[in-house]
Structures are given as C-alpha cells and as structure tokens.
Copies of this chain bind each other. A is one copy, B any other.
Amino acid sequence: MSERAIGIFDSGVGGLTVFKEIHRLFPGEELLYLGDTARVPYGTKSPGTVLRYALEAAAFLVDQRVKMLVVACNTASSVALEALAERFSLPVLGVIAPGARKAVSVTRNCRIGVIGTEGTVKSGAYTRAIHALAPEVEVFAAPCPLFVPLAEEGWSDHPVARLAAEEYLEPLMARGIDTLVLGCTHYPLLKKTLGAILGDGVTLVDSAEETANEVAGVLARDDLARRGPLLPPRFFVTDVPTRFERVGGAFLGTPLCGVDRVEIDGALFHPLDDSLRRR
C-alpha cells in the first residue's frame, strides 16, 4: 500500500491517452502528469537530446515523491527507459514493452507493423522488444511524421488524415501485416481513420491500454495500490498552459484547467552528472 502518486510524463499532450487509460482503470490513484511543452516534440530529436529531456522530466516527478514513473511517450521510452530505471530507484514503465507483448499475443501470421515518430522507428526499440519475445515474427516499421500534427489540429477524421494514412500504410499493407502497433501516444486518436483503411483483417494495438494493464501488474506486485480518499489528478507543463489545456482537453474529452507551469530544463542537473537523487 502506498498513498503516493503515480508520475506520468510525455513531451506534450500525447501521453494524455495513456493518462486517460490509467485514470479509468485506477480512479483511486492520484496521478501527476507532466508535459514538456516548452520542448515538444521529442519525435524528431536525437536520442541524446531526448535522453536529457526525459531525465529532467523524470527528476521533476521524482522530486514530487511519486511511487512509480510511467514514460507515456514512445520516443522517450525508446531511448531513455534503461537510463531512467538505472538512475531512479522506483518502478519505471515505458510504453514499448506492453505494446510489443500485446502485438505478439494477437498476431496470427507473425507479420507485425509498427508506426511511430522518426525517433521511435529509428531506435528499433519495437523490433527489439518484439524479437525478444518472438524471434520468428517479421516487423515492418514506418515513421508517420504527419500524424502528430494532424491529431493536434483536431483533424484525426479529416480527409487530409485519411489521405496521409493511406500513403503511410500502403507499404505496410503490401507486406501483409495482420497487426499494427500504434507506436506513438497521439495515434490512438486516429484509430477510426486507420481502421477504415486497414479493414477488419488488421488488429490495432493501442499502447495506452496495454500500459495501463502493466501499471496494474506493478501496483499488485509491489503492493503499491492507494487506499486514501479520491484526489483529482494534477497537470504540469513547461510552457504556458493555454495550448495544453485546449488541445489536451480535446484529447481527454473533458475540460482541462488548473494546469501548473514548472521549469525543468537544466535546472536540476547536468545529464552526465552522477549526483542524481536516489530513493
């Protein structure tokens, strides 16, 4: 049992799809969400830069004394998960492993597609995670850089999204995939559009849902579930909250307000400094 909060972070609003699933499964948990909106997006940036940003975001949440860290960003999970788990002595969950596990469990023909940001696809993290579970599976990955701006523009069901999705998915469909991992926390917003193009023969794997299931496992395993009175979630961002409240509210389907701005860049430590706090 632990009364502490669960800390969740992403580069911006995308991780709210993960937040939403965790909140739905565990209404009794207190959730702290940090969006690094002053430096969003992570998906086009280098592994070293994303690692630095992720360490700073995590350090902020650890300072809030969270009991668990959820990296609700595929790019950050791809390049920073190991470093985060090494640096901080609390459970650290990413979105890659849960998505990979689910994909392996649902594929019938052993041909899995993965879509994500440039950073996530380049890292090869999904391919490694899938092959660690099932070396015989063939993985076909494709970056879809326009999906994030399309989702943030509120154009997830727009003909522009449909046309872009047809272009991005065509090579994956040509490979005969029967499973597609939505390897970016923004992409669940495009589910309807993607499903219409792929048809019933392809199962969509939503990392958000799978990650929430993984949180359940850790809460049970480490006896971390919260029993105290209900507490509303708290949201933090690194730029002024206006845009996060507007776009994030649309993501969650409920108004988002009372978001606090915090500074995390360079304030806490140098990324190569070993003096990080451990608990």
A residues with a Cβ closer than 8 A to B are 37-40, 44-46, 48-49, 118, 145-146, 148-150, 152-153, 155, 158-160, 163-164, 167, 239-240, 242-243, 265-266
Contact = CB atoms under 8 A, between A and B. Distances in A.
A223 B46 CA distance: 41
A160 B46 CA distance: 27
A168 to B, nearest CB: 10
Copies of this chain, how many?
2
Nearest to A267: B266
Most buried by B among A118, A146, A163: A146
Contacts of A145: 149, 152-153
Given A159-B163, A239-B45, A149 B146 contact: yes
Contacts of A242: 46
A34 to B, nearest CB: 16
Contacts of A152: 145
15 contacts: A37-B45, A38-B45, A39-B39, A44-B243, A45-B239, A46-B240, A46-B242, A118-B243, A146-B146, A146-B149, A146-B150, A146-B155, A148-B149, A158-B167, A266-B266
Nearest to A118: B243
Given A49-B239, A265-B266, 8 more contacts: A38-B45, A44-B243, A46-B239, A46-B242, A145-B152, A146-B146, A160-B164, A160-B167
A115 to B, nearest CB: 14
10 tightest Cβ-Cβ pairs between the two chains A and B: A46-B240, A266-B266, A149-B149, A160-B164, A49-B239, A160-B163, A46-B239, A38-B49, A145-B153, A45-B239
Contacts of A44: 40, 243
A102 to B, nearest CB: 28
Nearest to A155: B146
Contacts of A265: 265-266
Contacts of A48: 240
Contacts of A49: 38, 239-240
Nearest to A242: B46
A266 B270 CA distance: 12
Contacts of A155: 146
A253 to B, nearest CB: 21
